[in-house]
Amino acid sequence: MPISPNREATATEILDRRSSQATGYIADPAADPIIPDLPIHRLRSLLGQFGDPHLTTPFVHVAGSNGKTSTCHFIASICRAAGYNAGLYSSPHLHSYRERIGISGSLIPRDAFERLIGQLDLAASAIESNWPDLGAFSAFDLLTAAAFVWFADQDCEIAVIEVGLGGRYDPTNVISPVLSVITPIELEHTEFLGTDIASIAENKAGIIKTGIPVVSTRQQHAAQVVIERTAAELGSAVLLQERDWRIVGQHNAFDLTDTSGTVTCILDPPGGVSQRNNAGTAACAARHLQGIALIIDDVSIREGIAATTIPGRFERRTIDGIEYVLDGAHTSDAMRQLVNSVTSTASSP
């Protein structure tokens, strides 16, 4: 619907106008084939108009095909339990764009969101006019910039950032994190990321930064080879599941064991095998934030995981006496895990 000239556009109208697969509803799949990192250059130009907020906050950067949203929520919840003002940027949303940006469990306030998106849209429009070679800003660009500005304004002590699509050329890759995390890599978005696991892993591993440690879940061999090679080239330590850390347990409880010892965690309500693995990955990440940027003890890890609720991620609802599990999957492996998780937790309290 056209916007009346006698009123300002709402944030939702601005974002909807900039949203499409072609312009990057998720991220920027239509990046320039000659300059594939154009989305990063474009976002830096916008952030520069707002004081480079992406340079002021310590970040955890999370990429992968499956489980990255849940892993982000678990990490942020653990940081909150440890007493930190923790930001969280994830996607997609269920009901409102505001769901993508939160601090310490609270969504960005509506008035702040409206103001920020309006300011960013004006700045983006000016850049598009003055430097057309940078291309058009997407909704994801504006949302990512809004998250960085908000986290800096609110003095976040740590912020967990979920990649939109891929990793290497994703707009979120403007940051220099204190820790990178890579969840399971599967065949997905092959028209943009590559037609085999190794190619997709090359893109995902693009979030690894020089000298910055990376936590990786259990991967297919082709993906693990790429992750280890990329990390070695950049002098970054890799913490691999099964080699450096492991998870043992049931769908509602597990033990995480690494070089620091073992911590036992409870998922309430039970979340199935995949959600247990996401929580375990987050616990491992939190363990390795210790000494890098934060002070996090095992009590905070247990409390943070137990307190985590994620709408639409193995969310259990009882309606008219029938229990439903609200979730989704976009790869065949994720769908198999979801079915197995629903089956295994069907009789759980």
Tens of pLDDT along 51-88?
A: 999 999 999 999 999 899 999 999 999 999 999 999 99
Whether the pLDDT of residue 176 is over 60: the answer is yes
pLDDT given at position 1: 40
**Tokens 């940081």 — which residue?**
79
Res. 329: pLDDT tops 80: no
Across all residues in the chain, what is the average pLDDT?
Answer: 87
Direct distance between the N- and C-terminal alpha carbons of the chain, in angstroms, rounded to an integer = 47
pLDDT in tens, 115-144: 999 999 999 999 999 999 998 999 999 999
- At residue 331, the 3 state secondary structure works out as coil
| CATH 3.20.20.120 at 11-344, yes or no | no
Average pLDDT of span 325-331: 65
What is the arithmetic mean of pLDDT over 265-292? 86
| Confidence tier at 339 by pLDDT (50, 70, 90) | low
The mean pLDDT value for 166-193 works out to: 90
pLDDT exceeds 60 at position 24: no
Mean pLDDT to the nearest integer, 158-183: 95
Beta-sheet strand order (sheet of 214-216): 106-107, 101-103, 86-89, 158-162, 59-63, 179-182, 214-216, 238-240
Question: How far apart are the C-alpha atoms of 60 and 66, rounded to whole Å?
Answer: 17
At 325 the pLDDT is 72
Domain range summary for the chain, segments of one domain joined by +? 11-344
